[in-house]
Amino acid sequence: LGFYSAFVVAKKVEIITKSYRDGAQAVKWTCDGSPEFTIEEIEKADRGSDIILYIDDDCKEFLEEARISELLKKYCSFLPVPIAFGKKKEWKDGKQVETAEDNIINDTTPLWTRKPSELSDEDYKSFYSKLYPMSDEPLFWIHLNVDYPFHLTGILYFPKINTEYDSIEGTIKLYNNQVFIADNIKEVIPEFLMLLKGVIDCPDLPLNVSRSALQNDGFVKKISEYITKKVADKLIGMCKTEKENYEKYWDDISPFIKYGCLKDTKFCDKMNDYILFKDINDKYQTLPELLVPVEDEKKDDEKTTEDAKTEESKSDDAKEEEKEPERSTIYYVTDKAQQGQYIKMFKEQGMNAVILDHNIDTSFITQLEQRNEHYQFKRIDADVTDALKSDDAADLTEETNTLSDLFKKTLNNDKLTVKVESLKDADVASILTLSEQGRRMQDMMKMYAAGGMGGMDPNMFAADQTLTLNANNALVKYLFEHKDSEHSGMFAEQLYDLAMLSNQPLSAEAMTKFVKRSND
């Protein structure tokens, strides 16, 4: 079948061949693609075969040197036997002339066939630029080499990722005994690894079956699982022994790792404690580091033997009756500039939050919460925490009721929740908080709509808004004292817009009104 594909481009094929055996007679085979062919004896001095294609008129492109060179480069760059394509050329007297030396177009011992101990970083980088000419230098790489239960070699490169994850397209080239097969075969290479680049050579891979058969082949699944495991092992090893480099690469590789965690539960299990979170102080921390404050660790260390005995002596029923521990809250920021007011307040109170500004993060943190009952993620503007409130426990019921009615009437929004709280930072007049689950649902609807899965209005799931007014702020005090003034509505609108501006950009119409009102 492979040979007869010659007739896809040729109207006639001739083969002139002579065996290596002593005294062998050379023969010529001729066929025009029909079931008939002829064989005749001819004279030929040397052993070997010449295959001559008489190219069809509509396939003349395959007689062009550039087209042949392109095909050879794609499919034969690493064949284990030398491939000569014409003669080498050199410049002489301002002209390019052929030399007597064969032009060998392939590398018979590519990098993945050699031992890692023989190779330098420059070797790996040079090979990468040969595979992907115009690409940025890779971050790092994994050299694969396994002999049992299957034979597989290869090099996987982590490219610099600087775009959204769903528009990234890596290219992993699949080879069989150094013969190129295809790019990115999903049945062999896990989907999330498609973001990587490099080569995989697996001589044991069955090639004479359909894609659907590959998908259900247990052997192929083992190959896929092995590749996933090696990638996870490399990342974990870096986190443990090269933490500084791991942190340096994190912003580039985090979309890939998070995508992998969403797509592959085994990969997620392995990587769970080695996912980094960059905080508002530009420090990188793992999930366990975020969840276990230093003082809690000290308390654990100080537990006495008696405490341990008491714990062990509890009956199973008593343990079951104990209240489930509350989830630890991890606050996060999606836009450092937009949420700057909240970040300032957190820093002033010694609180922390992590940066989650990639479009994959909403799905990622939802999955993390589902897999772990001990923590929850909340955006920094999801609520006003007790740490931000003054210790003064004055009763603000009257202020809350009065200003709530004023704001709902002025803004024509009965669904708005208004609270008056004493906040530590008197400079902050108002804060808008949005329900975490409501906003996540809204974000998800927007993502579906952007992906062409429309049909639903994202605003159906608009997050519930709570406006917190700071009783310690001069403007809020003024508004309460002058609640019956003709200008009270204007002040209410201004306080609402100030809070909104620290949460998200105002619409064009709202911004125009805000500027005019500010001038008034």
As a three-state string, the secondary structure of 382-450 is CCCCHHHECCCCCCCHHHHHHHHHHHHHHHCCCCCEEEEECECCCCCCEEEEECHHHHHHHHHHHHHHH
Band (pLDDT 50/70/90 cuts) for residue 301 is very low
pLDDT at residue 450, rounded to an integer:
60
Mean pLDDT calculated for residue range 463-468 = 82
499 vs 446 pLDDT, higher one = 499
The kind and range of the H/E element at 6 are none
Mean pLDDT calculated for residue range 421-448 = 81
Residue 312 has pLDDT above 60, yes or no: no
HSE (side-chain half, CA atoms, 13 Å) at 353:
26
pTM over 0.75: no
pLDDT at residue 208, rounded to an integer:
64
Q: Is 227 exposed, middle or buried (0-12, 13-18, 19+ CB in 10 A)?
A: buried
Residue 306 has pLDDT above 60, yes or no: no
Place of tokens 């603000």: 396
Give the whole-number percent of the chain exceeding pLDDT 70: 85
384 vs 490 pLDDT, higher one = 490
pLDDT at residue 315, rounded to an integer:
54
| Structure token digits, residue 144 | 């694969």
Q: What is the pLDDT of residues 369-379, one digit of tens each?
A: 888 778 889 98
HSE (side-chain half, CA atoms, 13 Å) at 306:
0
pLDDT at residue 325, rounded to an integer:
52
* 3-state secondary structure (DSSP) of residue 369: helix
Mean pLDDT calculated for residue range 229-248 = 93
Band (pLDDT 50/70/90 cuts) for residue 300 is very low
Residue 307 has pLDDT above 60, yes or no: no
* Range scoring the smallest mean pLDDT among 169-183, 310-324, 452-466: 310-324
The CA-CA-CA angle for residues 263, 269, 272, to 5°, reads 100
pLDDT at residue 211, rounded to an integer:
57
The kind and range of the H/E element at 348 are helix 340-348
State the Cα–Cα distance between residues 72 and 330, nearest whole angstrom.
54
Band (pLDDT 50/70/90 cuts) for residue 216 is low
Q: What is the pLDDT of residues 44-83, one digit of tens each?
A: 999 999 999 999 999 999 999 999 999 998 889 999 999 9
Residue 212 has pLDDT above 90, yes or no: no
Tell me which amino acid residue 22 is: D
Are 227 and 190 a contacting pair, CB within 8 Å?
yes
On average, the pLDDT of the chain sits at 84
State the Cα–Cα distance between residues 337 and 274, nearest whole angstrom.
28
